[in-house]
Structure 1
Amino acid sequence: MGSIKVTFTAAAVRPECRPSLPRSGACAAPLPPWHPHEVIMLGGYTEGLGAGRETRAGAPSSATPPPISSAPPGPATPRRAPTMEAWTFESADGGRWHPLPYAEGSPVPQPRLTSQAVVVGSELWLVGGWDPSAPPDTPQFLNDVWVLDLGSSRWTQVEVEEGKEGGGEELAGISRFTMLALPDGRLLLHTHRCDDHVLLLDPRVNGARDAAMSSSNAGTATMENSNPAQNSTRRVILTKVPVQGAKPGCPQSPASRGLHSLTAAAAPIPQLPQQHRAQQRRAKAQNHQEPATGSKAISGSGVTALYLYGGAPQTGPMFGDLWLLDTGSMTWRQLNPEGRTPPARCSHVAVACSGGDGDGGIPGRYLIFIGGSYYARPGQLQPLDDVIVYDTQSNRWLEAEVEGPRPSPRNAAVMAPLPAEDNGERFVLHGGWRPFMETYDDTYIVTVTAAMESDK
């Protein structure tokens, strides 16, 4: 078992290299290889001195509600508002964020924070979120699905249909949830309502998913879906996919929560003890359980394991538990790692990496968690600045060796992978906030490597 070094390097330091306003609760995703930049960030809750509701640069707001709060006497009272701005990041020459103007005449999603976005091929998919400044006739908690063509920068709203196989499901307004893309382009969602299931969004119209995937494989942008008339027919199928416990008698799935992380790891799944596997087979036979259609579909996707960590319920203490979802059998397993247990938390950032131990390491062996918040006292959020490492192969918490200027304690930041370099796997971390005190606009390159003996 090796040791992991996490190095922070300040990036986009000059004011002209940063986004226009500090922000928290945004979403971010890595861009495809053909794109000139590496990561896209959009949405979030901005903090500035101006009043009003933000949208993208140059786009008129559909409505202008009153300021979120009236300013008490005193200088420089911050105003916070949701946004639908998009920014792209390039790490060269110290790093720089670039504003992404949307196509002229493109519809623009409602401003939001705590939504989720993933890139599939040449498209970015945006789902749900929260708009606390929505007009009275507009929902605050959103259930909409949008696609951004990364070649044309044009948005298209997508119709959501209930799947007929595996259990149909209507998409309710959601925020503070998790979503990731499976290798075949389908989107897996875990929300606070997912007590015995997960949700699967499956793009299906006009071969759009296949076109996007083949475009990504070819390394070129597809313009096939940039026609607004064609995009008006875009649809996705939403299916409820059942899950179960890995061992008879154990909870079916993690307790209801939000602001948690769900991280895909390609590392092999540690096997259950033989007696537990035998008990599981007997339980399935006794209950005449057949795999759901959605479960079969996921098992062929190539993702080995999804790891859920932390989060907060609607009431009560935060969670510090760790769960593994085996996408082959669609079973949850609660993990009880060895080592020093980190504090419970929510609104942290999480990534998977190999650690680069010698031969490149096992892809996704290590999960890295940074920051978040916990309750110092009931109802009082205390931000964290720690770095946690979990070894999926030894089922153990590790203490990372941290170098460089560590980000100040925060939650609701974004973190996304950058292209790896010879000196290790890299990620960009941006923004976040110290609850009810300060919102950040700083950026860091986070490099993860195997610690050498001389470093220990």
Structure 2
Amino acid sequence: MSSSSLAWQEVATTQEQRPTLPRSGHCAARLPPSHSSDVIIFGGYTEDDQKKREACNDAWTFSLESKSWTTVQYSGDLIPRVRLASQCVVVDNKLWVIGGWDPGHKQDGGDILSDVWTLDLNTYAWTEIKLQGESLEAISRFQAVAVGQKIFIHTHRSLQDILILDTATSPPTLTKQPVTGSNTPSSRGLHSLTAIGNKLWLYGGAPKSGSMLGDLWALDLSTLEWREIRDGEKPHVRCSQAAAAVGDELVMFGGAYYRDDGPGLAPLGDLWTFDTNDSERGWKELQTAAQPTPRNAGIMVAVDGVLVLQGGWLAFQETYDDTWILDYDST
């Protein structure tokens, strides 16, 4: 693949084709191939024309064919509470939404959530899921990925173990499985976790205190052993980046890091790829003919080699409602 042939294309450029308000901190997943749309987003922080930000609990679907977003009309009266910094994945024909943060309205810090919900993608009816096994502690700014019918959850508490939610049991079962090996990722949030082959690939994030992180780890799902990848060129440290898998390649866009010239976050608009079959090659920065504005807390989903990027924000200045696609050929 030649990076010189890559070009982001902005789509859904009219208000009728976009979600109602700009948003960041939402979650996203690819819809099943049998669905009429390709990507679904849920929740996040919306921002109106007066710069007022509110957490939400709406969902929107995106079609690559029409290059537009459509609001999801829920059926029934049961709906999860508003949230951001949660995670959602699709298993079979259901969207699973896990945890997150409801910031509230009284500047009291709001609530970190520990609930689990499913949205039936045929009827758009919500169901709150009661788990057996481990209790899910309140979590936000974590990561979750689906592999088959299991959901792997990595939080700031995941130092010597990882949470596994088995959706195939009735009721679904949450277990805390010890990881093996003498070295594991340090405590962090706002990182990325991407499933490729039989491994989960973790990059970067922000610890509760201290410097931003820029390390890459692979968790072998057959042994649950973490291995840090140290070879080759590395991207700048960052958190809240958007990441997706295209074939055997991990692709990452944007994020933010602590400014060198004062307090606050500096946004990133770079695009990187990592070939998981050739770790010695290391990361490679890709140049594109056009690119979205630098940002963090947006979403990116891969659909048959096409990357769909939506939303995000320039910290405490602007929230975005744009949508970009990139035809990424990994062959």
Alignment length, in residue pairs? 328
Structure with more of its chain in helix, by fraction? 1
Cα distance 1:412–1:194, how it changes in 2: closer, same or farther (>3 A)?
Answer: same
What's the counterpart of residue 90 of structure 1? 63
Cα distance 1:176–1:14, how it changes in 2: closer, same or farther (>3 A)?
Answer: same
Q: Give 2:265's match in structure 1, choosing from 353, 356, 381.
A: 381
1:20 is the counterpart of 2:24: no
1:31 is the counterpart of 2:4: no
What's the counterpart of residue 94 of structure 2? 123
Moved over 2 A (4+): 2-7, 134-139, 203-206, 396-405
What's the counterpart of residue 258 of structure 1? 189
1:242 is the counterpart of 2:186: no
Q: For the residues of structure 2 that align with 1:308 and 1:188, how far apart are their CA atoms?
A: 12
Letter in 2 for 1:156: T
What's the counterpart of residue 9 of structure 1? 9
- Is the partner of 1:174 in helix, strand or coil? coil
Q: Give 1:193's match in structure 2, choosing from 141, 147, 157.
A: 157
Structure 1 gaps of 5+ residues are 50-76, 163-168, 207-234, 267-303, 355-363, 452-456
- Is the partner of 1:262 in helix, strand or coil? strand
Q: For the residues of structure 1 that align with 2:275 and 2:141, how far apart are their CA atoms?
A: 26
Contact 1:198 1:242 in 2 (8 A): yes
Q: For the residues of structure 2 that align with 1:446 and 1:350, how far apart are their CA atoms?
A: 13
1:428 is the counterpart of 2:313: no
1:371 is the counterpart of 2:234: no
Give the Å deviation of 1:342: 1.3
Contact 2:245 2:302 in 1 (8 A): no
Contact 2:246 2:330 in 1 (8 A): no
Contact 2:132 2:173 in 1 (8 A): yes
1:108 is the counterpart of 2:79: yes
Coordinate RMSD, CA, aligned:
1.9
Structure with more of its chain in strand, by fraction? 2
1:348 is the counterpart of 2:241: yes
1:417 is the counterpart of 2:302: yes
Contact 2:190 2:205 in 1 (8 A): yes
What's the counterpart of residue 293 of structure 2? 408
Give the Å deviation of 1:401: 3.7
Letter in 1 for 2:177: V
Q: For the residues of structure 2 that align with 1:137 and 1:431, how far apart are their CA atoms?
A: 26
- Is the partner of 1:449 in helix, strand or coil? coil
- The higher radius of gyration belongs to 1
- TM-score, normalization: structure 2? 0.94
Q: Percent identity?
A: 43
Q: For the residues of structure 2 that align with 1:380 and 1:316, how far apart are their CA atoms?
A: 14
Give the Å deviation of 1:379: 4.2
Contact 1:262 1:309 in 2 (8 A): yes
What's the counterpart of residue 294 of structure 1? none
Q: For the residues of structure 1 that align with 2:158 and 2:263, how far apart are their CA atoms?
A: 25
Give the Å deviation of 1:346: 0.3
Contact 2:272 2:286 in 1 (8 A): no
Q: For the residues of structure 1 that align with 2:106 and 2:186, how far apart are their CA atoms?
A: 33
Q: For the residues of structure 1 that align with 2:104 and 2:44, how far apart are their CA atoms?
A: 12
What's the counterpart of residue 281 of structure 1? none
- Is the partner of 2:32 in helix, strand or coil? coil
Q: For the residues of structure 2 that align with 1:6 and 1:254, how far apart are their CA atoms?
A: 33
Structure 2 gaps of 5+ residues are none
Alignment of 1:214-253 (within 5 A): 235-245=171-181, 250-251=182-183, 253=184
- Is the partner of 2:329 in helix, strand or coil? strand
Letter in 1 for 2:103: P
Letter in 1 for 2:104: S
Contact 1:31 1:40 in 2 (8 A): yes
User: Could you report, residue by residue, the CA deviation over 1:209-239 in whole angstroms, capped at 9, with x for unpaired residues?
Assistant: xxxxxxxxxxxxxxxxxxxxxxxxxx32110
Contact 1:3 1:398 in 2 (8 A): no
